[in-house]
């Protein structure tokens, strides 16, 4: 049936079915933030994919291709990987917006020199970006958006059954449009603090021009840093609302990709 027969009969058929279902789920977990971060061990992701695959096998009638290791079977597996990566990538875009906003704000505050290892990607990112990422992660989990994303991942087997996993140009265009929305959200998050920093830099520039004895760096850097921290504290309610909307938009975009 699968071109490999180890003599276990129905048990072996269910094993290959489980392994086939884990392909899409594992690709989605690998591409998604939080679950696919470098700090999460690969064993945990495999166990999570297996646990969700067991539920999918129990709730749906998804079957592995008759010849999994044939050309048609490999194409079916590639389609599963494509759907999983797309669902995870849409969620990844929402988590990229705060990092981009932190790059802009940190540049104005002079804090881009303070970097830390991003646990999501394993690369260097501004320390301010870690603050935004923690806020987004807490709100995302508190709203139960991760459970909604898991539910959409399970429903994707009804929207894209095995063998019908080509998303098409319309859905790829939809993912690209959500990326543009992510840029707009990043600018919206950074705009209040950036505006305050711009005013502070103009004031320090005028002061240094009128009084050349004042050192621009010794005056402007502490003033920009203090003004940036104060602006971040005052804009916290706006940041919370934007991050909440961003989490909801990520789930909405994922469902639209599946429903279109």
The domain in which residue 227 lies consists of 10-259
Contact 52, 84 (CB under 8 A): no
Tell me what pLDDT residue 30 has: 86
Out of 87-91, 161-165, 171-175, the most confident range is 87-91
Strand, helix or coil at 6?
Answer: coil
Number of domains the chain contains: 1
In a domain, 38, yes or no: yes
In a domain, 4, yes or no: no
In a domain, 62, yes or no: yes
In a domain, 173, yes or no: yes
In a domain, 3, yes or no: no
Tell me what pLDDT residue 126 has: 65
More confident residue, 21 or 128: 21
Tell me what pLDDT residue 239 has: 80
> What length is written for the chain?
260
Contact 57, 25 (CB under 8 A): no
In a domain, 217, yes or no: yes
Tell me what pLDDT residue 35 has: 78
Stretch (H or E) spanning 115: strand 115-117
Helix count and strand count (H, E) for the chain: 8, 2
Q: Average pLDDT of 192-201?
A: 83
Cα(197)–Cα(213) distance, rounded to whole angstroms?
23
In a domain, 181, yes or no: yes
Which stretch of 53-67, 112-126, 142-156 has the lowest confidence by average pLDDT? 112-126
More confident residue, 112 or 197: 197
The pair of three-digit structure tokens given for residue 129, joined into one six-digit string: 């970006």
Cα(188)–Cα(168) distance, rounded to whole angstroms?
31
In a domain, 5, yes or no: no
Tell me what pLDDT residue 1 has: 46
CA distances from 102 to 45, 108, 188, 193, 232 (A): 29, 10, 12, 10, 11
Quick check: 32 pLDDT over 70? yes
Q: Average pLDDT of 64-85?
A: 80
């Amino acid at each position: 049936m699968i071109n490999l027969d180890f003599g276990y009969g129905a048990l072996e058929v269910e094993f290959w079915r489980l392994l086939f279902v884990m392909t899409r789920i594992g690709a989605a977990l690998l591409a998604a933030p939080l679950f696919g971060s470098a700090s999460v061990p690969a064993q945990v992701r495999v166990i999570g994919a297996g646990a969700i695959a067991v539920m999918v096998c129990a709730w749906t009638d998804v079957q592995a291709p008759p010849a999994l290791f044939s050309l048609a079977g490999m194409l079916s597996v590639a389609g599963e990987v494509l759907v999983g990566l797309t669902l995870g990538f849409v969620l990844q875009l929402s988590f990229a917006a705060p990092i981009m906003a932190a790059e802009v704000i940190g540049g104005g505050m002079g804090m881009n020199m303070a970097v830390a290892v991003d646990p999501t990607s394993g690369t260097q990112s501004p320390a301010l970006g870690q603050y935004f990422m923690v806020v987004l992660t807490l709100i995302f989990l508190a709203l139960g958006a991760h459970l909604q994303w898991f539910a959409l991942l399970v429903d994707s087997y009804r929207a894209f059954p095995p063998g019908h996993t080509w998303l098409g140009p319309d859905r790829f265009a939809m993912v690209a449009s959500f990326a543009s929305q992510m840029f707009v959200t990043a600018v919206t998050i950074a705009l209040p603090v950036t505006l305050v920093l711009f005013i502070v830099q103009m004031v320090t520039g005028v002061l240094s021009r009128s009084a050349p004895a004042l050192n621009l760096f010794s005056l402007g850097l502490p003033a920009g840093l203090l003004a940036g921290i104060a602006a971040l504290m005052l804009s916290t309610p706006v940041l919370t609302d934007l991050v909440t909307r961003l989490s909801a938009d990520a789930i909405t975009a994922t469902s639209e990709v599946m429903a279109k």
